Amino acid sequence: MKKLSLIIVIVLGLLVTSCDSYLDINKNPNSPAEENMTTDILFPGAEMNLASTYGDFFRITGGYFAQYYSHAFGTSNYLDYSRFTMSATRSSSDYTQLTQRALKNLTTARQLAEQEEEWGTYLACTTLRAFIYQALVDAYGEVPYTEALDAANPTPKYDQGADIYAGIIAEIDAALEKVSDGQRVATNFLLPGANSTAWIKLANAVKLKILTRESGVADVTSQIAALVSQNNFPTSDVAWEGCWSNESGALSPFYAEEFSTAWGSTQINCVANVAIIGTMLQKSSDGDVLYEDGRLAAFFEKNGSGEYTGGISGSNFSTSNSYKSTYWCRPVASYDMPVYLITLSEIEFFIAEYYAKAGNAAQAKAHYEAAIEASFATAGVSGAAEAIAQFPYDQSNYKKCIGISKWISLAGVNTFEGWCEARRLDYPAFGSVQGSQMYNEQDDASYKPELYVPGTFYTPIKVDDKLGANKLLERWIYPESSTARNSNSPAFPGYSTPVFWGK
């Protein structure tokens, strides 16, 4: 994996071109001299640590675990992900990047902001800190929180996911109480030039996501109702965009990892999965197109023959003579592709779910359709009306229609969130067809993508035996970088044990 392990390369490349007035390029923003330590130095480095990890490793793994991606011919880099497996070593460096770099710098910047009563910056640091902890809980279930980030304590306890969620909601609420509209926020790439007014909206959106994700196991209805009633959310997608450039060290993370030759590799790993292709492009038994989603071309490239094709999870077609790299569709990617923190479509889906649970079918339908329209706007294509007609809102089965439509919407935007929401909503559900029925690795002629049932998951051809058939990977095993020397590390509960909000 061509890991962006030295985030300073990205940060310096960006800061030299965009913000050279406030950073000496000979100093590492992850370890500035004490006398130069300011929120304007710490915050950009911390957010780039987050963007590089969330936009690369989390996107790749989410892509496989949510069956957006399958594995290309002849390589094995991510074949374990394709088989719904995560080892203790695979996420270790990224866990360290988020905890020992992003979280530490955000925590220090937040302390400085509090000392200087920079409440706009304080809220921004708190919002990204909460976002990271939520992502860690969503991936691992339990991580150090109350005793974390203390160099004097090498054995922090692992907090329960529900307790961490409660803690970060309390942090956001406390920060919102301190801030007011129009206050300055430290230099950053996520909302450049914006003051606290924009960050208040973002904090509300992150809070909405946290509350909705735990709403199935905790009574948070009144808190969600208050947010929805206030309706003070971003009115456009929030992403790191406009900050990447076409040079080594400054490329958008997923593109740098999977598409750029700057790292000396031309290996192809991630290709489209039959699940997402077969849902977005539905054909009759005669091969006639019944439905083609307008976002398909924005999410995936056509193959070398000008067609959309999807591989099968659990195989890399390594014995194949027919299915070489040019046969498969690849994700659409570019050097300047955004890294989305949260989209307008996601916010609308969360609001639709709130109204659905409240029994307000009219409002649920309106926000459901608004979510799909926002997804098409993000993709920059037309066809929302056709998608709404293909996947109409159904109050009696709101989890299914929201789950499937949200899964589609996140395919080219934020695959990690697609995996999370599929685990929470239980949609897409597993269909009756197994991966082994659609392809036999010993026989090229056995490739039968037409057997796939649109809007479903399927068991990979080979799947982790600790997980079994008709199950998504529910969590990552605790990272070795956290557990190796920590006597307080808990026993891993198993790949099929949901994180707290999925129980």
Average pLDDT of each block of 10 consecutive residues along the chain (503 residues)?
37 36 36 72 96 97 98 85 96 97 96 97 98 98 97 95 98 98 98 98 98 98 98 98 93 94 78 97 94 98 95 81 81 97 98 98 98 98 98 98 98 98 98 94 86 97 92 98 95 97 95
Helix then strand count (H, E) for the chain reads: 20, 10
* pTM for this prediction: 0.93
Give just the sign of the alpha carbon dihedral 205, 209, 214, 218: positive
Handedness of CA 137, 140, 144, 148 (dihedral sign): negative
Backbone φ, ψ for residue 22 (5° rounding): -120, 5
Only one residue has tokens 């904090």, namely 203
Q: In a 10 Å sphere around its CB, with 0-12 CB exposed, 13-18 middle and 19+ buried, how is residue 463 labelled? A: buried
**Confidence (pLDDT) at 265:** 65
Q: Which residues contact 30 (CB under 8 A, 6 or more apart)?
A: 7, 8, 11, 45, 49, 101, 105
For 46, residues 6+ apart whose C-beta sits below 8 A from its C-beta are 101, 102, 103, 105, 106, 109, 125, 128
Cis, peptide link before residue 428, omega less than 30° from 0: yes
Residues 6+ apart with CB under 8 A from 374: 343, 344, 345, 348
Q: Is 344 left (phi over 0), alpha (psi -120 to 50) or beta?
A: alpha
What DSSP assignment string belongs to 286-334? TS-EEEE-TTHHHHB---TTS----B-TT---TT-SS--GGGS--B---
pLDDT value at residue 498: 98
Alpha-helical runs (H) found in 116-160: 119-140
- Which element (helix H / strand E) includes 104? helix 104-115
| CA–CA gap between residue 54 and residue 51 (Å, rounded) | 5
40 vs 35: CA distance, rounded Å: 13
Q: Cα–Cα distance between 459 and 443 in angstroms, integer?
A: 19
Distance CA 207, CA 174 (A): 12
In this structure, what token pair is assigned to residue 239?
């992403």
Residue 205: how many CB atoms within 10 A of its CB? Answer: 24
pLDDT at 26: 33
| Cα-based distances in Å from 361 to 343, 355, 400, 444 | 23, 7, 15, 48
At 399, list the tokens.
């989890």
CA distances from 458 to 61, 417, 478 (A): 17, 19, 26
Q: Specify the pairing of strand 456-457 against strand 429-430.
A: parallel
Q: Which residue type does 261 have?
A: T
d(CA 200, CA 176): 7
Q: Which of 82, 87, 86, 84 is nearest to 316 (CA)?
A: 82
What is the reported pLDDT for 326? Answer: 83
Q: Which residue has the tokens 């239980």?
A: 426
How many degrees, rounded to 5, is the angle at CA 295 between CA 463 and CA 4?
A: 60
Q: What is the spatial distance between Cα 425 and Cα 126, in angstroms, rounded to a whole number?
A: 28
pLDDT value at residue 23? 27
The three-state secondary structure class of 340 is strand
* Among 267, 238, 317, CA closest to 47: 238
